[in-house]
Amino acid sequence: MISDVYYYFRRDLLKWLRGRIFVISALVMPAAWLIFVGVPLRPQFTNDYLSFITPGIMVMTMLFSSFQGGSLLIFDKVLGFMNKFLAMPSSRESILLGKISFITFRGLIQSTIILIIAALLGVGMPGPVQILLIYIVMGLFGILFSAIATTIALAVDDHDGYAAVNSMLSMPLFFASTALMPYSSMPPWLRVLASLNPVSYAIDATRDLFTGGIVFSGILELLAIGLIVMGISMYIFRKATI
């Protein structure tokens, strides 16, 4: 099964690398958020907004990359590849895991670019243990939302429909989180939404790690939610018909 997962991962990776404009845009857009939002703004709740916003931009990058990754499955459906994949001897789980692996890997590359740019802009970097745990948080978060995105893409008929669902989910999830402001600066209704938002779990855990702490609660929450969502996604893939 591992070889099957690698085949689907490698297929999507090579297709992404051949589209140079997609590679460049995937690396430039997150950097633009960090530079044009984090550098000029100076909110009252912090004297170093760039350091505050960096974890939020990293998680945002993974979130948007995960939802954009669902379009890979849409194109496979539209072009007729998905029917052929589902009819192959390899397990259906390998299709799902291959997609999720590539989408998460791509998001981690983008997050690494954000981390490097933040360091160049003067953001204090945590120690090696914290950086390793940050990548674990990013990976779990990417797996969670890649599974959600691919499952949605399996149910949606065309690219336009998926793009609409993508916008409807990704932007509210980002803005109803602690990416741009802490809980204390939010109105009460937004504070409640943010406290229930898994995007906030990833941001809060990453922010704690940036300050040198080691907090496992956010990691365990993401792991638990991710296992549940992965189980649901695998069940849906087993029953899927195109």
Give a three-class secondary structure readout of 84-142: HHHHCCCCHHHHHHHHHHHHHHHHHHHHHHHHHHHHHCCCCCCCHHHHHHHHHHHHHHH
pLDDT confidence band for 25 (50 / 70 / 90) = confident
Q: Considering the chain, what percentage of its residues have pLDDT values greater than 90?
A: 33
Comparing 120-124, 135-139, 215-219, the range with the smallest average pLDDT is 215-219
Number of domains in the chain: 1
Kindly state the average pLDDT of the residues 207-213: 87
* Amino acid, single-letter form, for residue 19: G
Kindly state the average pLDDT of the residues 40-58: 83
- Domain hosting residue 62, numbered range: 2-239
Under 8 Å between Cβ of 194 and 178: yes
**Please, where are the H alpha helices in the chain?**
2-18, 20-33, 49-78, 81-87, 92-120, 128-155, 159-175, 188-196, 198-210, 217-239
d(CA 77, CA 84): 10
pLDDT confidence band for 240 (50 / 70 / 90) = low
d(CA 154, CA 234): 12
| Count of other CB atoms within 10 angstroms of residue 201 | 25
Length of the chain: 242
Q: Considering the chain, what percentage of its residues have pLDDT values greater than 70?
A: 97
d(CA 92, CA 235): 10
Is the model more confident about 142 or about 45? 142
Sign of CA dihedral 201, 69, 105, 6: positive
Residue 164 has pLDDT above 90, yes or no: no
Residue 33 has pLDDT above 90, yes or no: no
Residue 242 has pLDDT above 70, yes or no: no
Residue 135 has pLDDT above 90, yes or no: yes
Residue 193 has pLDDT above 90, yes or no: yes
pLDDT confidence band for 23 (50 / 70 / 90) = low
